[in-house]
Amino acid sequence: MATHYDAAIIGGGIIGLSTAYHLAKKNVKVALFESGKVGKKASQAAAGMLGAHAELEKPGVFFDFARASQSRYPTLAEEVKEISGIDMNLKTGGILKLAYSKEDIESGNQMNRLDSVVWKSKEEALAMEPSISESILGASFIEDDIQVEPTKVCKAFAKSARLLGADIYEYTPITAIDTDSAAITIKSQNETFSADQLIVASGVWSGHFFQQLGLEKKLYPVKGECLSVWNEDIALERTLYHEHCYIVPRKNGRLVIGATMKPGDWDEEPTLGGIGAVMKKAASMLPAVTRMKIDTFWAGLRPETEDSTPYIGKHPNDNRILFAAGHYRNGILLAPATGSMISDLVLGKKVNQEWEDAFAIKDKERQVI
């Protein structure tokens, strides 16, 4: 007989792992199935910025959700460290969003009006970070946009979920789902499982399951290439950010530098052209990077949706099936709130109605939030 679970998750990236952790914490008998090893793919490629302000264009429901998720990290980091012994390496310091032109200042105006963003003149910004480029006009300082190490977050969620009773099956790609009976059947190449509820959290590959489950929705890859360097000679406390590119200082002296944006590219290997472009952009923000020694480089596929807003919620025609996919540029930021919201939906608890509406899978286009 197939092993039966209350809930099964397909995908062991940060979204599936956070969901497994939140469900296991509530004593739900949960299984997570992952094609390869957990916490690789997009989640391993991420820089780890919790950039609610830096990344989102304007205040609104999506921003509120992102802020709620961001604010959960400090407590969550302590909670999972207590269970797993693994430190997420949460680092404060915030983000300096650099402005080189009037357009840069104007484009950030809606966010700059928030109390959580402080405008710094060129002199003030250079006093905070003396090594940044003299070409800036000023910068928006966002102290709340802290950072974590995504690989550590994934390991911490995975170990904590296991210790709380979750079964995590690695090297177990799910090849078929059957929803005809009361319990959902989930098949890998060699085994069959069943579950009362199923959560699709397979990153950009969730598109296959949308189709299998009768939905028209698609997900699109946006390839991002990054590198890291060793910084031994300058002080950099805060993340520097401009036009979707960034330099993120890690606790151990590494600087993570990213990233390209290549829509429609399914190739997961970094290219010389991509890494070269990122290095050039980094030098325009922090000239000293050109002297630094290369540590390594990598690439990953951001899971993009039609409107750059994730799908978090139930299948429109089958309450037993849920989706948590399409987190695009912000899956690390959004993982705590996504895992918690899916866990509440599985348990039949009330969730924030605005969030449920904003992230629902609808036949018609969603309202811009």
List residues near ligand FAD by CB under 6 A.
10-16, 33-36, 40-43, 45-49, 173-174, 201-203, 205, 224, 226, 258-259, 300, 302-303, 325, 327-333
Q: Which is nearer to ligand FAD, 54 or 346 (CB)?
A: 54
CB of 283 to ligand GLY, least distance (A): 18
Out of 329, 336, 345, 358, point to the residue binding ligand GLY (CB under 6 A).
329
CB of 242 to ligand FAD, least distance (A): 14
Instruction: Check binding of 302 to ligand GLY (CB under 6 A).
Output: yes
Give 149-153 contacts, CB < 8 A, sequence gap 24+.
149/48, 149/88, 149/89, 149/250, 150/14, 150/39, 150/43, 150/44, 150/46, 150/47, 150/48, 150/332, 151/39, 151/43, 151/44, 152/86, 152/87, 152/88, 152/89, 153/14, 153/48, 153/88, 153/332, 153/335
Contact 31, 223 (CB under 8 A): no
CB of 32 to ligand FAD, least distance (A): 9
Partner touching 303 among ligand FAD, ligand GLY, none, CB below 5 to 8 Å by kind: ligand FAD
Count helices and strands in the chain by DSSP H and E runs: 12, 17
CB of 24 to ligand GLY, least distance (A): 27
Residues 47 and 43: their CA atoms lie apart, in Å, by 9
CB of 99 to ligand GLY, least distance (A): 19
* Residue partners of 236: CB distance under 8 A and separation at least 6: 129, 131, 247, 249, 255, 286
Neighbours of 144 (CB within 10 A): 17
Q: Which is nearer to ligand FAD, 21 or 138 (CB)?
A: 21
Partner touching 202 among ligand FAD, ligand GLY, none, CB below 5 to 8 Å by kind: ligand FAD
CB of 258 to ligand GLY, least distance (A): 5
Out of 259, 335, 337, 346, point to the residue binding ligand GLY (CB under 6 A).
259
Residues that bind ligand GLY (CB under 6 A): 47, 49, 55, 224, 258-259, 302, 329-330
